Structure 1
Amino acid sequence: MSFTFIVLTNFYPAANQAMQYAAGLAAKLQARLVLLHVKRASLFDPYVFAGENWRQAELDAEAPTAEAMQELVDRLPVPATVEMATDLLPTLARSLMARYQPALFVLGRPAAEATSADQVSGAALDLLRAAHFPLLVVPVGSTATAPPHQVIIAADAEGFRLDEAGRFAQQLLTNLQCPVTVAHVSEVEDDDACAAALQAVHTSGLVATSQHTDLRCFQHTHAAAGILEAAHTTRAGLLVLVARQRSYLGELFHRSVTARVLEHTTVPVLLLPAVEAPVSETTATDQRPDMGGEAEGLLY
């Protein structure tokens, strides 16, 4: 199976680090890259009233940028192409998915003091994850290298299934051939929930039952802090977060977990779309009432 990664890029450190990490991953998986350069990310098209002539004029003015982007491509160790666009819009994202069928989008997360670059990548992150595309977010300054030598999957006790876009991760974890750890975070010691988390990962097919998987449980009041501790303790080079398609209120309630992880992580994070497992695949642990703690779901 041939994979394609679409990398949101520019000439700033965060995007460059994301591109280098993606290139290392692509080299391991024999994948190709598409370097996507946009000036803005938005839900609304700024040229909807001005017309396509104005959009084309802006693109024509970016000819020097396109040439510089091509120089980046020529220095990469894997096949790559350049896509130039004025705006990352939902329609463009869907068009890219149709044309390239990418395994994931890759974004760099700038440092906290960054301004303009952060506005673009932050808006792109919101747009792409709202559409439930698989996302790889690489924090600037990360010391993790690709391919990773250790992968950690943050999981709760609820069952899930990978959707069509998320199945790339199955092949990814198989091809990486590195140790995989399932980490469960809870406020109290709960061996049953830990075992259910491992079962949920295996039942989903994310990791084959034949592939050795370690189980580590962490006790922490806040889910995000516990996940970050787990990634640090295991020296992970890639952190996988499962993202379920919940109700609107559920999305709002649990969104802080992933937001906090992305804000503070020093490890690249793979946000993996998933859907709820049928009731028949849930465990007894899943039937416990929701006590309102943020550790009850790892959602974005």
Structure 2
Amino acid sequence: MEQSKVHELAVTAARARLLAMDMVHDAASGHIGGSLSSMDIITTLYGHVMRVDPANPRDPDRDRFVLSKGHCTPALYPNLALKGFFPVEDLKLFRSIKGEMSGHAEMRHIKGVDMSTGSLGQGISAAVGMALAGKADQKDYRVYALLGDGEIEEGQVWEAAMSAAKYHLDNLCAIVDVNGLQIDGATADVMPSEPLDKKFEAFNWNVIHVDGHDFEALDQAFQAAAACKGKPTVLLAKTIKGKGVSFMEGDYGWHGKAPNDEQYEKAHAELAATLAELEGK
């Protein structure tokens, strides 16, 4: 990946983080911690990897993305808006009774959303179905699904993993946002899931470890996933919950809490400074 593209993605992710913070603060509700940790992954997908067209959001040949950790729409919606699926101003209606931009991924009303999600574990199953349909229809589109490392405590995730391997869904790429935290604390304390790589390998998946905040590494990982034939791929993306805001980073208390006015001003200032630095202002 050229450095100009790396810089472009970094700027987009910085803008999206600011928009996410505005959304959650204005709504006084939302899941900011996991949205910030997964932002660079989603930005890389929509800004560089996936074949999508905002002018034709239901193109049957498009790549698909399923936000299996469906509560992290503050990461997805800003990226869709910045890509051009709908006006950025629409984000002001996030979780508002005046609009239809719900806190969980909503495909009926939000352009660019390929699957409504929210109940953890179900998104990856839908992604398996999409990938299986692609094989049956002899389409060359790819399916991407983003899961949380708390979400994989759901048994349905592993049922989906078995199915993906059985049907050799090499057009499916799952990404696990491994930030090590969930709503009640550290995943290692709530319900230990490591070693994730050994578990997915046992389910006959191709496993790739990647830094979830390194755009070049993510690009290389997605290329490697596309090159793998005969089995699905999972990217185990190491991330930091609350990435980009000093007092939110690594704190599970920010899983599903909105900042008050004072906290918002501090967070906004930090995120704005990062964007200004990237833009050379």
> Please, what TM-score do these two structures have when normalized by structure 2?
0.29
More helix by share: 2
- Structure number with the bigger relative contact order (C-alpha 8 A, sep ≥ 6) is 2
> Please, what TM-score do these two structures have when normalized by structure 1?
0.28
